[in-house]
Amino acid sequence: MKLNTRDILVKILGAIVCLFSAVCLVGSGYALVKTWEIQAEISRKLLDATNEAQSVLKNAGNGLETTAQTISATINTLSALRPTLLSVSNGVHNAEPAFNELQTITAESLPATITSTQASLLTAQQSAAAMEGVLSLVSQIPFFPGGTYDPEVSLESSLGNLSDDIEALREPLENMQAAIGNAQDSLDGLDNQIIKLILLLDQIRYNLESANGKVADSREQVLDAQAHLQELEPLIPVWVRSGAYLLSFILVWIGMAQVSWIFQGFKWFKTK
């Protein structure tokens, strides 16, 4: 029986459909097998990433706790110095011991406090940078409890600015030391420097208290993030396995559809 052009085209179409559907069926089967091969590896990598994030947050939390203690100690030191400076200012003209005490404060006590505080703030900045990077990343996880971590001023920047503020103490301290050396000729200038130092210490103390509040808030966020990650950890394998089941269902459905198309293509190919 001679085939017309339409029958030939139907046969060609049937052959193409059979071939394409067979390739898709093989691909679906391969994808199904690979899905269950890699789901355990995906779970392991996600759990490793979660554990690493928890480790970073733990270290950051410890660093913030140390920073809070250092800032509190500095605040206490500055608070204790204020009445001493006021007393020195009141008796600067008459009390020789006051000059000796003031010399000790400006040459030893305050410079040592500035240096140790700046060193602690530098360590805290490094911890804050790591902590804020993890908090920013973790807070972007879909359905993760809590809002996105996006402070108006980062803790790292706040601590850096605080270190710069503390550095500003060095110039009036140097000016005071120079004034003490010429105290007999510049008692009025020395008294003015003491007042300026007291005012600056008050501002620094206020900034320290503000920074301590930010450190406390950040540490609380770190603890919350740690708790959420601990809650998330046992759910990761469940989520990955559920995703594998869903993908398997889709692949099986696609495979069944390809089998149907193979039969349809074969039917077209057998057309007489």
**Residues 138 and 46 sit within 8 Å (Cβ to Cβ):** no
3 state SS of 182: coil
Residue 186 banded pLDDT, cuts 50, 70, 90: low
Q: Token pair of 214, please? A: 């930010």
For residue 30, is pLDDT > 80?
A: yes
Domain boundaries, the chain: 5-269
Q: What pLDDT does 66 receive?
A: 82
Q: What pLDDT does 50 receive?
A: 84
pTM over 0.85: no
Could you give the angle at the alpha carbon of 180 between the alpha carbons of 178 and 181, nearest 5°?
Answer: 65
Least confident window among 17-21, 34-38, 88-92: 88-92
pLDDT digits (tens, 9 = 90+) for 168-181: 777 877 787 777 76
Q: What pLDDT does 128 receive?
A: 75
Helices (H) and strands (E) in the chain, counts: 7, 0
* Listed residue (51, 163, 176, 62) closest to 118, CA to CA: 163
pLDDT digits (tens, 9 = 90+) for 50-63: 888 888 888 888 88
Percentage above 70 pLDDT, the chain: 84
Average pLDDT over residues 156-177: 78
Mean pLDDT of the chain: 78
